[in-house]
Structures are given as C-alpha cells and as structure tokens.
Amino acid sequence: MKKKWAFLSSMLAFVLVLAGCEPLMVLDPKGPQAAQQASDIMLSIGIMSFIVIAVLTILVVILFKYRASNQPDDYEPPHIEGNKWVEALCIGIPVLIVAFLSFMSVKSNYIVESAPVGYENEEPLVVYASSSNWKWHFSYPEEGIETVNYLYIPTDRPLEFKLYSFGPITSFWIPQLGGQKYAMADMVTTLHLGADEPGEYVGRNANFSGKGFAENTFNVTAMSQTEFDEWVQEVHEKAEPLTEEKFDELLEPGHLGQMTFTGTHLEFSPAPEHTHNDVSEEGNDSEEESDHSGH
C-alpha cells in the first residue's frame, strides 16, 4: 500500500511540474519555415513513439508467452538456425524507416533554405545580423538604420538575414520563426525567414561563445508593413547617427541594452565579401579571400 501511494504521489508531482512549464517555442510556429520544422519534429516524434510502443509491446508478449513457467516440465526448445522472415523484418523495417526520415529531412532542408512558401515573388527585407561579445547588431541597409539587441520586422514579407560575427562563431536563432544558422567571422551565411503573425518573439545565440553566452539574447517584434514603415520614419527623426568611434565602443566585450541608430556600420566596416557557398565551391586555395573579413 505504501508503495502504491508513493507511486501515485510521484506521478501527481510530475504532472504538476509539467503543468507549470511553458510550451516549447519550436512547437508554436509563427512563420512558414518554423511551421515546416515543427511538422517535421511532430512526425519524427510520432514515428519514434510508434517504434518504442511496438517494441515494448512485442517484448511484453514474448516475456509473458514464452516464460519458463508457461512451458511443460519436459519442454526442450527446437534447434533453429534462423528465420528468413524474422530477419527480413528486423532488417527491412529499420531500413525503410531510415530511408523515409532521410527523404523527409532532405526535402524539408530544401524548403527551409529557400524563400518562405507563399512569399517567393515578394521583395525580401534584407537585414545584416552580426554578433559580438555578447550582443547582436542588426543593420537595415535599405532603410539606413541599425539596432542593437532588438529586431523589428514586418509580417507577411520574406526576411533575408545575412549573418556574420565580429568574434567567435555564434548561432542566430528565433525558435518561433525558424531554425538556427551559424554566424562566422570570415564569411556571410544567409538565413531565410518569415513571420505570419504580429507579436513579440525571443531570439538568441544558440552556440556557446564565452562567459556572456547566457545573456546573448535579443527581442523580436513582428508588425504590419505600415507600422514598420512608421517605425523607420520615427528612427530617422529621433535617433543619433552611428559613427565609427561609437561602433568600436559597441564591439567591446560586455552586455548592452537596446540601442537605435541612423546609418549602419556597413558603411565603414563592411561584411565579409564572400559567402558560405563561395567557400564551399572554391575551397581555401586563396589566402587573399580569407583576408577580406577585416575582423
């Protein structure tokens, strides 16, 4: 009886703890890329759950049906060298599962690496997202604006992030909008995202980069295109210009709050000149290319 009540008490405590947890952000998508990835995650969980339940069910049946106490005293098991059907199932089913998951992963990868579904014919908003210890700098070259540790984006429009770093390798990640991608010092990587709904989202560096890594976060606000245009106009009316001296101060290791400037650091400290695809195609034969970063 004591064991029964201890078990019930443990289960009740477990349920109460889970009830206090916030929902996983990756399973609460607010954009087409994140929706594709959430669908893949749920499908993978479903397949793996089916496998676990099936294996455990077969295990229980075999243990119960073929237990020693269920056999006659004079029972002697037959000599069996193999069964082609059992072996075919044990090998064939895992092969089919791995093949299906591989096909699904490759197909999904092509989807999330291109422009968001439904936004292919629209002009993307280009944002250069660069990291330094331990902050994020967001440059809007077309709008002539730069922000620190916060990001304003329009909804229902493709977003094209150009990622790089002024320090160690970091990882740009907004869980409710899509998966992470690395930002490096000597090349630019491109991440395509989109936001379907206005709201407040959380972004962060998902790659350990030193003692300030835990607070290397930023806020994301998605709004209508009209509100975004009004914000751009307001920034040009009220914000101070970003100078090279001020930007050098921002690059010093440490944490900062949210800041807004007119102009971008791209004017005096441009992004690396080659992209991740250029490096993969051309290799590392030219030392000259690796010096373009200037970081």
Same domain, 192 and 217: yes
Task: Evaluate if residue 124 carries a pLDDT over 80.
Answer: yes
For residue 231, what are the domain limits? 125-282
- Cis bond upstream, residue 134 (ω within 30): yes
Determine which of 148-157, 212-221, 260-269, 280-289 has the lowest per-residue pLDDT on average. Answer: 280-289
Same domain, 105 and 169: no
User: Is 193 domain-assigned?
Assistant: yes
Q: Directed axis angle between helix 84-113 and helix 32-65, to 10°? A: 170
Confidence of residue 213 (pLDDT cuts 50, 70, 90): very high
We report the CATH number of the domain holding residue 141 as: 2.60.40.420
Same domain, 65 and 207: no
Asked if 129 contacts 220 with a C-beta cutoff of 8 angstroms, the reply is no
- pLDDT reported for residue 281: 43
Token duo for residue 112: 């999330």
Determine which of 5-14, 133-142, 284-293 has the lowest per-residue pLDDT on average. Answer: 284-293
Confidence of residue 82 (pLDDT cuts 50, 70, 90): confident
Asked if 206 contacts 180 with a C-beta cutoff of 8 angstroms, the reply is yes
Same domain, 134 and 262: yes
Pairing of strands 150-154, 145-148: unpaired
Q: Average pLDDT for residues 72-97, to the nearest whole number?
A: 86
End-to-end CA distance of the chain: 68
Same domain, 134 and 38: no
User: Is 118 domain-assigned?
Assistant: no
- pLDDT reported for residue 118: 87
Pairing of strands 259-262, 240-241: parallel
- pLDDT reported for residue 4: 58
Task: Evaluate if residue 280 carries a pLDDT over 90.
Answer: no
Query: How many angstroms separate the CA atoms of 242 and 262, rounded?
Result: 6
Tell me what percent of the chain is helix, strand and coil, each rounded to the nearest 5: 45, 20, 35
User: Is 98 domain-assigned?
Assistant: yes
Task: Evaluate if residue 145 carries a pLDDT over 90.
Answer: yes
- pLDDT reported for residue 289: 40
User: Is 250 domain-assigned?
Assistant: yes
Hey, which residues does 39 pair with through a beta bridge? none
Same domain, 46 and 133: no
Q: CB-based contacts of 242: which residues, under 8 Å, 6+ apart?
A: 146, 261, 262, 263, 264, 265
pLDDT in tens, 155-200: 999 999 999 999 999 999 999 999 999 999 999 999 999 999 999 9
More confident residue, 82 or 152: 152
What phi and psi values does residue 232 have, to the nearest 5 degrees?
Answer: -60, -45
Same domain, 32 and 138: no
- Domain tally, the chain: 2
Asked if 176 contacts 34 with a C-beta cutoff of 8 angstroms, the reply is yes
Same domain, 176 and 217: yes
pLDDT in tens, 23-70: 688 999 999 999 999 999 999 999 999 999 999 999 999 999 888 788
Measured in residues, the chain has a length of 295
Same domain, 90 and 224: no
Name the nearest CA neighbour of 201 among 6, 34, 4.
34
Query: How many angstroms separate the CA atoms of 241 and 262, rounded?
Result: 5
Q: CB-based contacts of 155: which residues, under 8 Å, 6+ apart?
A: 195, 196, 197, 198, 222, 223, 224, 225
Same domain, 129 and 270: yes
For 128-142, b/e burial (b = at least 16 CB within 10 A) is: bbbbbbbbbbbbbbe
Same domain, 253 and 180: yes
More confident residue, 15 or 11: 11
What does pLDDT average to over the chain? 87
Token duo for residue 241: 């210009």
Q: Average pLDDT for residues 3-18, to the nearest whole number?
A: 62
Same domain, 189 and 277: yes
Q: Average pLDDT for residues 100-110, to the nearest whole number?
A: 94
Query: How many angstroms separate the CA atoms of 41 and 36, rounded?
Result: 9
